[in-house]
Chain A
């Protein structure tokens, strides 16, 4: 069963914010089709009325006091960013 085509792969790459070459589109289409075919076997399972797992342990809401604690110093964060100016991360213009 054909599950995914090149157009869908390009769309998914856009959703994932991943630039892809024509060669990659071809490769991912073939590979994802193979993986999705493999995943089709889950359709053999009758899951009517089965709750999806959201957490493996019965966790309750975890609450804590809303207290101010020290966070990372700005100088450290600045060091990590590829482009930094006047206390802010610099990026290309968002609006023309």
Chain B
């Protein structure tokens, strides 16, 4: 039996009582990585100092009150880690070893978590399948012919395969929740501003958030409690008091008011997913929640809005990769060609495509037609959520329109690929929090239930997800 089956709460007791050593937990991670990561491809780098760190921590464990003390974590490779490569899944940064830790990494280390390594991802977090990694694809632990989702594919697969107890991902349009759904784990995208983005390599700054991927909702609440809160280095991080989110997990959702948007069961959502999610909603109702059908009328415009806005922001954010201060430098006669050739050599196709789209949408003569129009559409999409969430506690639906698709199945057509995010994108545009929690299997592949909440009301979506998990049995380890 894997020690990770215990979860954070029980492991904390075992570590504190000296029944499990930190070094045993770290060994568990590395043994599992040795055994399965050749098939999965979740890791891009391993922390060579992890064993030494763990041994030093073994003696301190008894006096340690922090629940994450000694627990192994994997970190998505667009979150900077001092002394460990941070590639963003890109050739451009293949040798980039940051000089500092991201705030989230600092907070986890202060809590005593041990970084095991860096996790594979779509290049600069642009993708829904992890096939856009410059290094290698990640494979779904439930069926290695299938994708793990993206862009936090490595973060979801590593937890699902038992390689780490939990991981950090980032979510700009669904990049935590969609891979969590595909891999059968719990993934949370917090409210915009709840978690510091300092040290997250920016993709679309008005949409990006860091969040935890875990086996269980309870573990998710523990990790979120550790990473949330204001940070001086990120002026968009909110001034919220430190919160213990595990206190919200009462198991009781009697009277919870649930809204189910009819648009989330529309064209493109497969029958298998619809069936599982309808059953999940019936389960929530049987636990005492009330369920009404509602409308989010501007949902159909979210995808176009997102691709214009996210690409525009990306085109500005990725201007920093110019070959001068870090990363790839192409040899050229003049400075302009250094920029152009470094970027041409360092970036993959999808990244170039989005930089091009964003540059076009922001360029003179097109700004009003594309960028400004999309910002106005965003206001309407956000208002849909405000209206429904003024009457209901949570909004519930599927996380993704289908279970994980096969590798290579959608890579040729950008628009088809973008549709995988159609149910997660509106949430980022509105800035609200959402969690994906496992809701059964279709043809041996996991389906995710998405629970969306009000701004800064992570407690309620965790409570609902936890009650659902208790009623349905929770995490299953895929056979590998």
The residues in B between 21 and 62 inclusive whose CB is less than 8 angstroms from any CB of A are: none
Are B356 and A47 neighbours in the complex by a CB distance under 8 Å?
no
Q: Which residues of B contact A15 (CB under 8 A)?
A: 359, 363
Is B376 a contact of A18 with CB atoms below 8 Å?
no
Residues of A within 8 A of B370 (CB): 36, 39
Which B-chain residue is minimally distant from A17 (CB atoms)?
A: B339
Interchain CB contact under 8 A, B100 and A80: no
Asked whether A52 lies within 8 Å of B378 as measured between CB atoms, the reply is yes
Main secondary structure of the interface of B (DSSP, over half): helix
Tell me the B residues contacting A by CB distance below 8 Å: 96-97, 99-100, 192-193, 206, 232, 235-236, 238, 298, 300-301, 303-305, 307-308, 315, 319, 322-329, 332-341, 343-344, 347, 352-353, 355-357, 359-360, 363, 370, 372-380, 382, 414-415, 429-431, 455
Are B353 and A16 neighbours in the complex by a CB distance under 8 Å? no
A9 contacts across to B, CB distance below 8 A: 356
Tell me if A42 is interfacial: C-beta within 8 Å of chain B: yes
The answer to whether A54 touches B238 (Cβ under 8 A) is: no
Q: A34-B415, A35-B414 are in contact. Are A53 and B304 (CB under 8 A)?
A: no
Interface pair A17/B193, CB less than 8 Å apart: no
A41-B301, A45-B376, A62-B235 given; name 16 further pairs at CB < 8 Å: A12-B359, A16-B343, A18-B347, A18-B352, A19-B337, A35-B357, A38-B307, A38-B415, A42-B301, A44-B301, A45-B380, A53-B429, A56-B382, A56-B429, A57-B238, A80-B96
Most buried by A among B236, B308, B333, B359: B359
Closest chain A residue, CB of each to CB of B303? A38
Query: From residue B235, how far is it (CB to closest CB) to chain A in Å?
Result: 4
Closest residue of chain A to B364 (Cβ to Cβ) is: A15
How close is A94's CB to chain B, nearest CB, in angstroms?
5
CB nearest neighbor in B for A56 = B431
Across the interface, B430 reaches (CB within 8 A) one of A44, A56, A83, A94, namely A56
Taking a contact as CB atoms under 8 Å apart, the answer to whether A24 and B352 are in contact is: yes
- A2, CB-defined interface residue at 8 Å: no
Given A59-B236, A80-B326, A82-B323: A42 touches B431 (CB 8 Å cut-off): no
- Residues of the A chain whose Cβ atoms lie less than 8 Å from the Cβ of B323: 82
Query: How many A residues, CB 8 Å from partner?
Result: 51
Contacts of A92 in B (CB 8 A): 332-335, 338
Question: In the complex, are the beta carbons of B376 and A52 less than 8 A apart?
Answer: yes
Alpha-carbon gap, A89 to B96, bound state (A):
16
Contact with B along A64-78 (1 / 0, CB 8 A): 100000001100110
A-chain residues with CB within 8 Å of residue B324 when the two chains form the complex: 81-82, 89, 91
Query: Chain B: which residue is nearest A90 at the CB level?
Result: B324
Residues of B within 8 A of A38 (CB): 303-304, 307, 415
Interface residues of A in 19-65 (CB under 8 A from B): 19-20, 24, 28, 31-32, 34-36, 38-39, 41-45, 47, 50-57, 59, 62, 64
Q: Is A18 in contact with B373, judged by CB distance below 8 angstroms?
A: no
Once the chains are docked, how many angstroms separate the CA of A52 from the CA of B372?
7
For residue B148, give the distance in angstroms from its CB to the closest CB of chain A.
25
- A57's partner among B99, B192, B357, B429 (CB-CB below 8 A) is B192
Contact A16 B430 (CB under 8 A): no
Say if the beta carbon of A93 comes within 8 Å of chain B: yes
CB distance from B415 to the nearest CB of A (A): 6
A80 to B376, CA, bound (A): 40
Within 8 Å CB of B301, what residues of A?
41-42, 44-45
In the complex, the chain B residue whose C-beta lies closest to that of A47 is B376
Q: Are A31 and B378 in contact (CB under 8 A)?
A: no
* Known interface pairs A38-B304, A52-B375, A52-B376; A80-B359 also in contact (CB < 8 Å): no
Q: Contacts of B344 on A, CB cut-off 8 Å?
A: 18-20
Contact B377–A47 (Cβ < 8 Å): yes
The minimal Cβ–Cβ distance linking A8 to chain B, given in whole angstroms, is 8
Known: A45-B301, A92-B338. A32 touches B353 (CB 8 A): yes
**CA gap between A45 and B144 in the complex, in Å:** 42
Q: Tell me, in angstroms, the Cα distance from A2 to B324 when the chains sit together.
A: 37
Chain B residue nearest to A8 in the complex (CB): B360
Contact A18 B329 (CB under 8 A): no
Q: Measured between alpha carbons, how far is A17 from B344 in the docked complex, in Å?
A: 9
Please give the distance in Å from A30's CB to the nearest CB on chain B. 10
Q: Which of A44, A62, A80 contacts B325 (CB 8 A)?
A: A80
